[in-house]
Amino acid sequence: MSFSDYLETEVLEFAFTTSGGTRPTAWYLALFTAAPSDSGGGTEVSGGAYARQSVTFTVSGNTATNSAEIEFPVATANYGSVTHVGVFDASSAGNLLAHAALTSSKTIETGDAFRVQASELDITLN
C-alpha cells in the first residue's frame, strides 16, 4: 500500500518535529472502482448497502496486517468492478491514510459480499 500525502506529512511531523496531528483511534477499509492517489480522489463505491468497514491491525517489524476478516455488507445493488482499497481514519469522509490496487479486480453484483481474509491486507514500510 502507498501512504497518502496526508499520512506522509503526519509521520514526518511526528518523527522530526515536536508537532503532529492526533493519532487515529479507529481505521476503516474503503472499496474503490477507480484508483485513489496519494492526494485522494478515486471513486469510492456508494449505494447498494455499501459502507466502509472497521479494520484492526497488528504490527510485526515493518508491516501492519489486518488481524481479523473484514466483511462488507451483502450488496443490494451492483458495485461494479472493485479495483482498489483505501484505509481511512473515519467511517465517512475523514482522511485517506493508505491505498493500493487489488491483485485482481473483483466485480461485486447484487447478492455478493466482498471479504478480506485475516492477514491478507498488508501495509509495509521499506
E strand or H helix at 98: strand 96-108
What integer pLDDT is reported at residue 82 of this predicted model? 98
Tell me what the pLDDT averaged over the chain comes to.
Answer: 96
- What pTM was computed for the model? 0.94
The tens digit of pLDDT for each residue in 37-70 reads: 999 999 999 999 999 999 999 999 999 999 999 9
CA angle, corner 15, sides to 27 and 85, nearest 5?
30
What integer pLDDT is reported at residue 8 of this predicted model? 94
The domain tally of the chain equals 1
CA 37 to chain centre: 12
Write out the three cell numbers for 82: 472493485
The answer to whether 4 touches 39, Cβ cutoff 8 Å, is yes
3-state helix, strand, coil in the chain (%, to 5): 10, 45, 50
Boundaries of domain holding 25: 2-124
Contacting residues for 118 by C-beta, under 8 A, at least 6 apart: 66, 67, 68, 69
Secondary structure tally for the chain: helices H, strands E: 1, 11
3-state secondary structure of 68: coil
User: In this model, does residue 20 exceed pLDDT 80?
Assistant: no
